[in-house]
Amino acid sequence: MQYITVASALLSSALLTSAATTTLERRACSVAYPQSIGFPINFDIHQDAGGANSVSNALTFSNIPAGSYGCQLEVNFPAGYPITSSGASAINVVSTAGGGDSLFGTLTLQSSPIAPTKFVINSAQCSALLSYRLEIASDTEAGRVAFADTKDAGFTVTYNC
């Protein structure tokens, strides 16, 4: 009986020592860029007063591998990145995948003059096609948001983090 108790104590001690010396490495996320013919992708989302002459932009990701997990839509801008905005400049990000439209997030795009800026819009289950529509959030006010989406600035989907 004492042998089992001593053996259990030694085994527990060895496991704790092993766990204490194991360091966890930070995993790198994979990044998907919007589907396009090339960069830059010039986004120009705008509307006139009363919602007239509304122009929305499509945002599509079709390059996420099967079996991926933890898809998160983000927008990143380096310090001082030029974003043109006026009036009601908050934008809705509407998920258009799966045949139905649903609000995925609302944000006001801006960049800091001194540091990189990152906005996490929302996360969703990964699929082969993630598609969104960018539109001015106000139903009644005039507004405009425009910027160039490049490999260094703009929308991305991170996954497998």
pLDDT at 7: 46
For 63-101, write each residue's pLDDT tens digit.
899 999 999 999 999 999 999 999 999 999 999 987 789
The helix/strand/coil state of 11 is helix
| 89 vs 84: CA distance, rounded Å | 9
pLDDT at 37: 63
The helix/strand/coil state of 96 is coil
Query: Span 26-159: which CATH code?
Result: 2.60.120
What is the model's pTM?
A: 0.79
CA 131, 136, 137, 138 torsion: positive or negative?
Answer: negative
The helix/strand/coil state of 14 is helix
| 28 vs 31: CA distance, rounded Å | 9
